[in-house]
Chains A and B, each alone.
Chain A
Amino acid sequence: MSKKSDFLFNKQSSRFFLPWICALMVFIATLVLAGGIATHNSLNLWQKSVAESLTLQIPTYDNGGNPRGELVYRDIENALMLLRTTPGVLGAIVLNDDQMQELMTPWLGSDAAVSELPLPKLIDVSVDTNHPPLLEQLKADLANSVPDAVLDSHRIWLGDLVRFANALLTLIGLILILLFVTVAITVVYTTNASLSIQEYVLSLVHMLGAQDLYITNRYAWHNFKVALGGSFVGFVLALPVMFGISMFLKSVSGQILQSSLHPIQWTYLLLIPVGVALLAFITTFKTVWKFLRRFL
C-alpha cells in the first residue's frame, strides 16, 4: 500500500528539478554569505587593529637623499619620551630589523634585504581604545619635538578599505536577495508545472471533499522536504570549497584576511538551507492555494 500522504503526488516534476535548483542556489548562497562574513570579520579586525595602534615613522634619509645618521636615534629618543607621557598611549616599541623584515615580506618577499632599503624607522604605538589619545594634540606635540616624524593613524587607507568592504557587503546582500528570489520563482514554476500535471488528481480529490488547506499543506510540506534535502546537499558541497578558499587565502594573505568563522556565524550559514526550504513552503502554499480556486 502506498503511504497515506502519497496519493496527491504522481509524476512530480518538482521531485527531480526542485532539489537540484535548491542545491545549486544554496551552494552559491553559502559561499557568497561565507565570503560576506569573512569580509565583515576582516573589516572588524582591521578597524580593531587601527583603533589599537598608531605608527610613527622616523625618516632615515633627508629630503636630499642623504642619511640622517645620529639624528634618527635622537628623534627616536624624543618621540619615545613624548609618547610615554601622552595620555591614552599604553606603550611604544621601535620595530627591529627582524620585525621590519616580517612586515615587508608580503610585498617584497622573504629574501629582500630590508635593512639595506631606505625605509623609515617605525615605532608601533599601542593605544588605550577606551581613552584614545587626542590625535591632533599629539601631532602638534610631535611637530614641536620631532618635526621630521610622520604620525600614521592608518585612517586614510582604512577609510578607502572600509568603503570598499561596505560596497562589497552590499553587493553580497543583493546577490543573496537575487538568489532567494530565484528560488521563489523556481518554486512557483515547478509547483505550477507539477499542479498542471496533477490537475486531474487534484480535481478528483477536491470532488471527494478534500479541504483546500489539506491539499495545500500536503503540497507545501512535500516541497519543503524536497527543498530541504536539496539545500543540505548544496550546503554540504559548499563546505570543502569554503575550506579550500580559506586555506588559499591564509596562504596568500597571512592574517590580513580573516577567513575563519565564529561558531555563531556557522549558524547564519546553516540558516540558508533552512531559509530556502521555508521559502519553498511559503511559495508553494500560496501557489497551490491560488490554483485550487479554479475548482468550485
Chain B
Amino acid sequence: MPNNENLSPFIAEFNGVSLRYNKGPEILKDINFSLSPGSFHFMTGESGAGKTSLLSLLYLHLEPTKGRVRLLGQAMDTMSRSTRAQIRRQIGVVFQDYHLLNHLNAFDNVALPLRLAGEKESEIKKHVTELLAWVGLEKQMKSYPEELSGGEQQRIAIARAVIHKPTLLLADEPTGNVDDAMAKRLMYLFLELNKLGTTVVVATHNVGLVKNFHFPQLHLADGHLKIIPASDTYTDMANKLFKREEK
C-alpha cells in the first residue's frame, strides 16, 4: 500500500470535481461524493450523462480538470506513477466494451491481473480455473475472445476484474449482454466480493437491476451528481437474494 497521506477513511473522495475533454463542454460538474470501504453503489443516468467518465476518474484513467480526487487515501494530483500503478492494481474494472486481449485465450485474459501482481503460476491456475467455472466458462478456457459470444466475453471481463479480489470494483454495464439469470448470478458474485470487503460501483441502465438490488445510487444528470439513498438495507436485500438463490 502507498504509505503517504493515507489518512482518509474513504476508498474514494471527490471534492468539487469537474471534467472536460480538451476545450469541450464540462462533462462532469462540481462532483462531490465519497465511497466508504465495503459500500455498494449503483451509478445511474442517461447515456452520455458521464458515467463512463466518472468511472475513468475512479480508475485513474483520466484526471479532473478541476477539484480534488483521493483514491485509497492518496491525492490523485500528487501521486507518483509508481503509486498510481499500485493503486490501479487494487482496482478491478469491468469495461463496457470488455477490453479483452484478442491474442490471449480466456484463461490468460483472466490471469492478467495475477500475472502483473507476480502470483505463482500454480496459484494462478487454481484461481482462474475456479473463477471461470463459477462464471460458467470452464469449457471455454482455451477459447479466444473472437470465438466467444458477447455475453461470454463479458463474463471473462468480469472474471478478470474480480480475480485479484480488488479493494474497489468498478463495473460499467456488467450485465448488458447476459440474460437475467446470468445477470443475477454475476450480481451475486459482486455481492460476495462486497461481503468480503470490496467496495463496488456498478454503472447500469438496467432499471430492473437497480430496483431488485436496493443499493444507493450515484445518479448523473446534466453533469451533476445526485446521491439517491438505498430504499432497503443491505442485510435485508442480501438475505432476500440469497433466499431466492437457494430456491
User: Could you tell me which A residues sit within 8 Å of B by CB distance?
Assistant: 1-2, 4, 7, 10-11, 201, 204-212, 214, 296
Enumerate chain B residues within 8 angstroms of A10, measured Cβ to Cβ. 101-103
Q: Which residue of A is nearest B60, CB measured?
A: A296
Enumerate chain B residues within 8 angstroms of A1, measured Cβ to Cβ. 105, 107-108, 111, 142
CB within 8 Å of A: which of B95-116? 99, 101-105, 107-108, 111-113, 115-116
* A7 in complex: contacting residue of B86, B101, B121, CB < 8 Å: B101
User: Could you tell me which B residues sit within 8 Å of A by CB distance?
Assistant: 59-63, 81-82, 84-91, 93, 99, 101-105, 107-108, 111-113, 115-117, 121, 142
Enumerate chain A residues within 8 angstroms of B116, measured Cβ to Cβ. 205, 208-210, 214
- The reply to whether B108 and A208 form a contact with Cβ atoms under 8 Å apart is no
- The reply to whether A201 and B82 form a contact with Cβ atoms under 8 Å apart is no
A201 to B101, CA, bound (A): 7
Known contacts: A208-B88, A296-B61. The answer to whether A4 contacts B105 by CB under 8 A is no
Min CB distance, A141 to chain B, in Å?
81
Enumerate chain B residues within 8 angstroms of A211, measured Cβ to Cβ. 81-82, 85
Closest 3 CB pairs of A and B: A209-B89, A209-B88, A10-B103
Q: Which residue of A is nearest B62, CB measured?
A: A296
* A2 in complex: contacting residue of B60, B61, B105, CB < 8 Å: B105
- The reply to whether B112 and A212 form a contact with Cβ atoms under 8 Å apart is no
* B85 in complex: contacting residue of A2, A11, A204, A210, CB < 8 Å: A210
- The reply to whether A209 and B85 form a contact with Cβ atoms under 8 Å apart is yes
Cβ contacts A to B, 21 pairs, < 8 Å: A2-B108, A7-B104, A7-B108, A10-B101, A10-B102, A204-B101, A206-B88, A207-B61, A207-B93, A208-B112, A208-B116, A209-B87, A209-B88, A209-B90, A209-B116, A209-B117, A211-B81, A211-B85, A212-B82, A214-B116, A296-B62
Enumerate chain B residues within 8 angstroms of A210, measured Cβ to Cβ. 85, 116
- The reply to whether A296 and B63 form a contact with Cβ atoms under 8 Å apart is yes
Known: A1-B111, A201-B103. 6 other contacts (CB 8 A): A205-B116, A208-B89, A209-B88, A209-B117, A212-B81, A296-B61
